[in-house]
Amino acid sequence: MPRDTGRLVLLTVAPLAALVLFAGAAGLLPGPVALALAVGVTGLCATAYLVDTALAIHHTERAFAACRGAGFVGMGALATALTVLVPWWSPAGTVTWVSVGLGVAAGCYVVGAALLPGAARTWPVRLRRGFDGLGLGVSLGFAAYLIPPDGQPRPAALPALLITAAGVSIVTVVVLRARPRPVPAVWCGLGAAVVLIALAALAEVLALGVTGPAVPLLGLPMVAGLAAAAAGGSRRDLPPPPATPRNPDQYLASYPLLGIPAAVGVIAAAWHLLTGPGFDTEAIVFGLVMVTVLVLRELLVVHDIRRYAGRLRVAEAHFRSLVAGATDLTLVLDERLTVQWQSPAAARLFGLRDAEVVGRPFPELIHPEDTEDALAVIGSVLAGEHDGGPPVLVNARMRDGTRLWRDTESTISDQRAVPEVAALVVHVRDVGERRHLERTLHKLAFLDQLTGLANRRALMRDLHTFHERPGRRGTLLVVDLHGLAEVNDTRGREVGDAVLTEVARRLRGLTGGEDVPARLGGDEFAVLTPDSAVQAYALATRIVAVLGEPCRLPGADVILHTTVGLAELADSADPDEVLRHADLARQRARQLGRDRVEWYDPDVELQLHRRMELERQLLGAAGRGELDLVFQPVTGLRDGHPAGVEALLRWRHPELGTIMPGEFLPIAAALGVTAELDEWALDAACRQLSGWAGGDEDFWLAVNIRPKELLTARFPEQVSTTLRRHGIAPERLVVEVAETWIAEDVPAVVAALTGLRRLGVRAALDDFGSGQTSLAHLRRLPVDMLKLNASLAGEASEAGVLQVVVGLARRLGLEIVAKGLETPEQIERALAAGCRLGQGFALANPAPAERIEAYLESHRADRGR
């Protein structure tokens, strides 16, 4: 039946059974009938309820001990119900049958109580507790037999009395020894004890031949006991018992239980001696049985004590071997932190003798600098702040037997609540090797192994530290070396590593105590400084100057160039942004040239993005038809007649518009496509020259050629092929070479220009006066034309220089072109100096081919008139 239904039936049947018993006591029903009806029905209901509970536990929870416990209690209730039927069913031999039923019920209740949750877990424990209860029961029976003095009536149902005493004692011991002691088990044991005592009273009443209301009234405790036993034995929603360590007390009763039966027997025997003449045979038999039980129990206890002592000796030996061979030093401290004991490993691990440690304060072993922190942690343990938690960790240096300080790590466990210890237990471990390894790993993780400077990880860590400071002042410098790759390729990695080491040494010498020099990797370095912008810029210029000095190494002198990018910490939201900004500034400085210092600003980032976009699209610009030429006429300064044109390259970007050569030609040089651009420009210019109808045979075309293309062996052949393809006379083509390129390799330029002259192509030295080419070089260079830099005619103060240059060029037979003429005054100065030809906005602007053709036609028409 359902659990709630069974409990409701019991709550309903118990009051009805009480009414039936009161009716029997009042004479409305025969006493035996009322007893059999009330107790029998209650017992059957309790049996059904407990058996149903046992089956439910068996099928759902698989708790077999609890299942059997409820079942045996139910069988005890059934035996009680059947026993009370005896006076009504078979009056003859009633006492014997009641005693038999009492024994069966007592056995069932004892087994059921032993199997209930919390009572015991194993059969050895259950049997030992049953034996303890049996000893107590025999003693109580012996006392009950002896206490009445001679001449007084003895118990008539003596077997029932003995069974009851044993059963009640065993159930009581089992319930009281339960750990933890659940309330349902107490109710079950109390109910079983009440039922057994009532059955024993019934047997005594029947043995004495008592009739009347006494017989049915004995059913009242039986009904109450059955209800209590059923309610307690049916509980199955109990929490599991805690897992406690096993100890000998789980196998045998504790020593006070031995004194209870002995005391009961001694008191009963003494009372009998004082009030009676002596012991009869039955009393002697009772005494012998009691003594036998107590002796057997004592022998078992002694046996278990010896076994437990043997286990203790083995455990102690194991403990000593473990402590002696342990890698930790164990200390026991009292509340005053005095060392009471140290493990045998102290001499082996730390060289400490007992005389040096035991009896001395523990703080004397700790380094003075670590004492305060260690005592604070120990004080928190003594104050109970870590109760129930893991052992507390203390890091401190401790002195060993050689008076040296060792790095140690100690765990402190508060064992003051353990009576056998009542102290603080400290486990000390030498962690010197681990700390050394940690420091080594830290060094490997945050230092560059070649230069000894901080690495990128250490720099980012310090950047975060700077970023979190109040005010967040500081500057990051990113330094890029130029030429290290060539050193590695030509002189080997060893020389390159030596150069990096020397660079690191110089950086250390330039930086202060709060600066952080670091190597980011490869040929990139960085310096993090707390200085302001002005001081950081001064530091960057010193770095450029010092790193530009030759590195004098054994067998090699290496000269490097640098570029430096700077970014302030306050300009970015986080350290990663600071590093990115400084690197962008460094890239911008590298684009602008060597040995430069650049600050980061938003325009720098825009320029870099623009450059990267141009680099991406320039490679296919010629194929996509985006390249174009404009032409600027070179005219006579006196008559304005066009003598020739200079082809100027333009990139017509579909999105960015017209891009000037000054922006995309350095990109082309970096990408290595200048030869392709020069080849396209030469072919397009010659094709255009052949198509102009307004020109004459003296009208020439000038094309700018970069030195990389000029110095190639195939360039003269390429020029010759282009001229033949478009039908242009060689003397109408002028190849312009910038003066700034001549000084790099004068002999090679002379040879290349000589080859062009053999073809009949003329050469011009462009932007003369802007570079370092001396006037003496003009005698060696096979050029036909000298195009003067705009600065020579731009200032009146340069008029004397301009006259000198023009005079020298005339003596060398060179044709002079004054470039950059933008005002009438400049034209007048050029004429005064003797220049015949000029070029500039004041004379004619660069224009597409169609407008140049119209320009030529108009001048031809003017000449015709």
Q: Is the peptide bond before 180 cis (omega within 30 degrees of 0)?
A: yes
What digits encode the pLDDT tens for the residues 381-425?
Answer: 888 777 767 778 888 888 887 788 888 888 888 887 777 677 888
Q: Does 316 map to a domain?
A: no
pLDDT score of 564: 93
Domain that holds residue 365: 325-437
Q: Are residues 665 and 773 in the same domain?
A: yes
Percentage of the chain exceeding pLDDT 90 = 4
What is the domain count for the chain?
Answer: 4
Q: Does 519 map to a domain?
A: yes
Domain boundary among 383, 412, 437: 437
Helix (H, G, I), strand (E, B) or coil at 551: strand
Q: Does 419 map to a domain?
A: yes
Q: Does 130 map to a domain?
A: yes
Q: Does 313 map to a domain?
A: no
Q: Are residues 458 and 362 in the same domain?
A: no
Q: Any residues with CB less than 8 A from the CB of 26 and at least 6 apart, and which?
A: 213
Starting at the edge strand found earlier in the chain, the sheet holding 424-430 runs 339-342, 329-333, 424-430, 405-414, 392-399
Neighbours of 437 (CB within 10 A): 11
Contact yes or no for 400/406 (Cβ under 8 A): yes
Q: Is 842 exposed, middle or buried (0-12, 13-18, 19+ CB in 10 A)?
A: middle
Q: Are residues 179 and 280 in the same domain?
A: yes
Burial 326-351 (b: 16+ CB within 10 A, else e): bebbbbbbeeebebeebbbbbeebbe
Q: Are residues 558 and 452 in the same domain?
A: yes
Q: At what angle do helices 715-726 and 674-691 cross, to 10 degrees?
A: 30
DSSP designation for 599: E
DSSP designation for 391: P
d(CA 427, CA 736): 88
CA torsion through residues 260, 263, 265, 268, sign: negative
d(CA 715, CA 87): 140
Q: Are residues 368 and 433 in the same domain?
A: yes
d(CA 612, CA 605): 11
Domain boundary among 397, 412, 437: 437
Return the CATH number at 451. Answer: 3.30.70.270
Which residue spans within 655-812 are E strands per DSSP? 657-659, 700-704, 733-738, 762-768, 785-788
pLDDT score of 279: 63
Q: Are residues 431 and 452 in the same domain?
A: no
Q: Are residues 479 and 431 in the same domain?
A: no
Q: Are residues 591 and 627 in the same domain?
A: no
What digits encode the pLDDT tens for the residues 528-583?
Answer: 988 888 898 999 999 999 988 888 877 677 888 899 999 888 655 577 888 888 88
Q: Any residues with CB less than 8 A from the CB of 689 and at least 6 apart, and which?
A: 695, 701, 726, 728, 732
Opening angle at CA 154, ends 151 and 160, nearest 5: 175
pLDDT score of 517: 92
pLDDT score of 324: 64
Q: Are residues 784 and 669 in the same domain?
A: yes
Mean pLDDT, consecutive 10-residue segments, the chain of 865 residues? Answer: 59 79 79 79 81 70 58 80 72 68 80 71 67 69 63 58 75 71 73 82 75 77 82 61 44 50 66 64 68 72 76 72 70 87 79 84 88 86 77 84 84 79 84 76 79 87 76 82 84 85 90 87 89 88 90 78 87 73 84 84 71 77 84 88 89 83 76 81 88 72 84 84 89 85 72 85 82 61 84 63 80 86 87 88 88 82 60
pLDDT score of 555: 67
Q: Are residues 408 and 461 in the same domain?
A: no
Q: Any residues with CB less than 8 A from the CB of 802 and at least 6 apart, and which?
A: 788, 792, 793, 829, 830, 833, 835
Q: Are residues 690 and 785 in the same domain?
A: yes
d(CA 730, CA 745): 26
Token readout for 385 is 């702040």
pLDDT score of 91: 58
Q: Does 775 map to a domain?
A: yes
Q: Does 607 map to a domain?
A: no
d(CA 347, CA 331): 13
d(CA 770, CA 768): 6
Q: Does 563 map to a domain?
A: yes
Q: What is the pTM of this model?
A: 0.45
Q: Are residues 831 and 719 in the same domain?
A: yes
d(CA 771, CA 396): 71
Return the CATH number at 334. Answer: 3.30.450.20
d(CA 753, CA 739): 13
